[in-house]
Structure 1
Amino acid sequence: MTPLAAIVRHRPVTAPALRLVCFPHAGGGAGFFRGWARHLAPDVELLAVQYPGRETRFTEPLVPDMAALADSLAGPLAALDPVPTVFLGHSMGAAVAHETLLRLEAAGRGEVRRLCVSGRPADRPVRPRPLTDDEIVEAVAALGGTSAEVWEDPDLREMLLPIVRNDYHLIDAYRCDPAAPPVRAGILALNGDADPGVTPDGARAWEERTGGPFACRTFPGDHFYLVPHAATVARLAAAPF
């Protein structure tokens, strides 16, 4: 791949005052955030990372390991011109954004000022065993993600299931290193009040992962609360530091 294949520029800005970099959920791609530019000021650049094996990187092999995925994203992001930056990750993307930020800060990069973690608690209990394919489909449907009609189409199921399976197994196997330092960037934790996977305590536990400012915001809605609340979420992410 080219060095910047991992980055999709939804709205490039010649001299941005701020850069918002979005990290998609399990099974998701950079296109999930395509429409967010309309919610941002004209001087905010909107980028999204593209995980291998989907959308514009469909021909590339999937990455089943969190460390390898974060390593593959840190390099292209470090190659960008330094601009005050916000990372926003939803669900699995929150963990990927956090791990990527740890790598950038360890390399001495300090342009990421805020980490927005959406739809994911700071810690998750270990699953006793990997989910089966049918259980993965059921779990995705329960979260309000991909519609049931998609999974009933044999061709779409064959195309999408390997991606979702990879990401679910990746995130189920991942645990943040307890020795990892707090990030220097501030953290904003966001969640829906009807999300079965994020309790208020789970969201607030992100405060332990930062040495900077921390805030928590709960919205009406399920795991994908940020779809109807995209405008508010985007503006919170890009608010002055």
Structure 2
Amino acid sequence: MDIEWLRRFGAAQEDTGQGVRLVCFPHAGGAVSAYVPLSRVLSPVVDVVAVQYPGRQDRYRETPVESVTRLAELVADALEPEEGRPYAFFGHSMGALVAYETARRLAARSAPGPLRLFLSGRGAPGLRPEAADRMTCDADVIAAIRRLGGTGVRVLDDPDVMEMAMPALRADYRAIGSYGWEPGPPLDCPFTVLVGDADPVVPVARAAEWSGFTSADTDVRVFPGGHFYLDGCTEEIGDVVTAALGVRV
């Protein structure tokens, strides 16, 4: 596992080599810290690691990646799934797309695949970019952040933090604003799709369309809240994850 890309939290810094590994993919502008609460709920029974994209936190000096598929290729290179070690992916918003595309690339390499994909806060892919993802300037990006809400809105009131955050945000919105699904075979692992009932950009019906991208079962879970419903439902999400993976915390 490449520690430049994949991080653990707190007391779970050391890998015991046992249990299911849950690889978590952050949202646009997000970093590994977004998954600290979920890690606290699931550790140590689930080995929670999160992907640190270039251009944020301790990787802020690196150039952010402006392509979902290129980012997926880099993550697939970093993962190196271990034969016999079960793992799953959890991706929120942009992270759902990166998780899905990473799984596709691992399948193309005949690498061991994930037990399940947890796809959160994102509608199923389309052949063309979503209209809501196309940003023409920084003002559009900032307006999108305000619309989506969540704890990330707080950075808008701090000019110094915003100056550091904007390069990653610009790159991430360019990535999702240019992403179009390339036709190919469905994955063969089950999906759990998670969405907030008041998400302003992801209707439940659009999220449910992920079922067309796997030959296995799809389970759709709807939670109270908006795009960042996760902030108030961490315990419930933990229950969904452990039940789907067949483990007990």
Indicate whether the TM-score tops 0.5. Answer: yes
Residues in 1 aligned to 2:172 and 2:51: alpha-carbon distance in whole angstroms: 15
1:197 corresponding residue in structure 2: 201
- 1:134 and 2:136 equivalent? no
Deviation, 1:38, is 2.6
- Please state whether the residue corresponding to 1:48 is helix, strand or coil: strand
2:173 corresponding residue in structure 1: 168
2:236 corresponding residue in structure 1: 232
Partner amino acid, structure 2, of 1:40 = L
2:4 corresponding residue in structure 1: 5
1:119 corresponding residue in structure 2: 121
Q: Is the 8 A contact 2:81 2:112 kept in 1?
A: no
Give ranges in structure 2 of 5+ residues lacking alignment.
Answer: none
Which structure carries more helix by proportion? 2
Deviation, 1:218, is 0.4
Give percent identity, aligned residues only. Answer: 38
Q: Is the 8 A contact 1:82 1:111 kept in 2?
A: no
Normalization by structure 1: what TM-score? 0.91
Deviation, 1:162, is 1.7
Among 53, 77, 80, the alignment partner of 1:78 is: 80
Runs of 4+ in 1 over 6 A off after TM superposition: none
How do 1:1-241 and structure 2 match up within 5 A? 3-10=2-9, 11=12, 12-40=14-42, 42-78=44-80, 80=82, 82-123=84-125, 126-127=130-131, 130-146=135-151, 148=153, 150-177=155-182, 179-239=183-243, 240=245
Give ranges in structure 1 of 5+ residues lacking alignment.
Answer: none
Residues in 2 aligned to 1:61 and 1:80: alpha-carbon distance in whole angstroms: 29
Cα deviation per residue 1:203-230 (whole Å; 9 max; x = unaligned)? 1100001111211010000000011111
- Please state whether the residue corresponding to 1:108 is helix, strand or coil: coil
Q: Is the 8 A contact 2:7 2:52 kept in 1?
A: yes
Residues in 2 aligned to 1:158 and 1:41: alpha-carbon distance in whole angstroms: 34
Partner amino acid, structure 1, of 2:3 = L
Normalization by structure 2: what TM-score? 0.89
Residues in 2 aligned to 1:81 and 1:60: alpha-carbon distance in whole angstroms: 31
Deviation, 1:111, is 3.9
Cα deviation per residue 1:92-113 (whole Å; 9 max; x = unaligned)? 0000000000011111123411
Residues in 2 aligned to 1:218 and 1:79: alpha-carbon distance in whole angstroms: 30
Residues in 1 aligned to 2:15 and 2:46: alpha-carbon distance in whole angstroms: 7
The RMSD of aligned alpha carbons is 2.0
Deviation, 1:52, is 0.4
Partner amino acid, structure 2, of 1:229 = C
> Number of aligned pairs?
239
Which structure carries more strand by proportion? 1
